[in-house]
Structure formats: C-alpha cells, structure tokens
Amino acid sequence: MICCKECLDLLSDYLDGELDPQTSSSLEEHFQDCPPCIAFLNTFKTSTNLCRETIRKVEIPEVVQVKLKEFVTQNARKKG
C-alpha cells in the first residue's frame, strides 16, 4: 500500500497515463480509502485542464501569425 506522499508524487504521471498498471492500481486503491487524496486529485485534474485550455486559447492562429509577420516586416522596412 502506498502512502499519501507517494500518491501525490505519482499523481501527475498517473494522469498522463505514464504509470505501469500495477502502480496505477495501487494508486486507485489508495484513492478509494483516502478522501483527501481524491479531493487533491480532483483539484489537480481541474487545474491541469484549465491550464491546457488556457494554453490552447492563447495559441496564436496562423492567420494572425502571418499578419503579424507582415506587420513586423513592413515596419522594419519603413524604419530601415
């Protein structure tokens, strides 16, 4: 049986699906008996998803990238 600390250490690998099946299942076993770790898991999941969503939103669309390059090139020409 793994302890809470180990559980938290493994959490990010667990969510990324990078743990071996045995470790995953001991982690899941721990979650069943440990409400604080479940709460942490949920918070972690939510914030990770939020992060990913934000990154996706901030990503610059290709059209904007092209316009931006044009703008920079034109400005550079004017100045140079």
Residue with Cβ nearer Zn ion (7 or 10): 7
Question: Measured from the CB of residue 3, what is the shortest distance to Zn ion in angstroms?
Answer: 7
Residue with Cβ nearer Zn ion (39 or 72): 39
15-74 positions binding Zn ion, by CB under 5 A: 34, 37
Cβ neighbors of 11 (< 8 A, separation 6 or more) are 27, 40, 41, 44
Question: Measured from the CB of residue 12, what is the shortest distance to Zn ion in angstroms?
Answer: 15
Say if residues 37 and 8 touch (Cβ distance below 8 Å): yes
Cβ neighbors of 68 (< 8 A, separation 6 or more) are 60
The binding site for Zn ion (CB under 5 A) comprises 4, 7, 34, 37
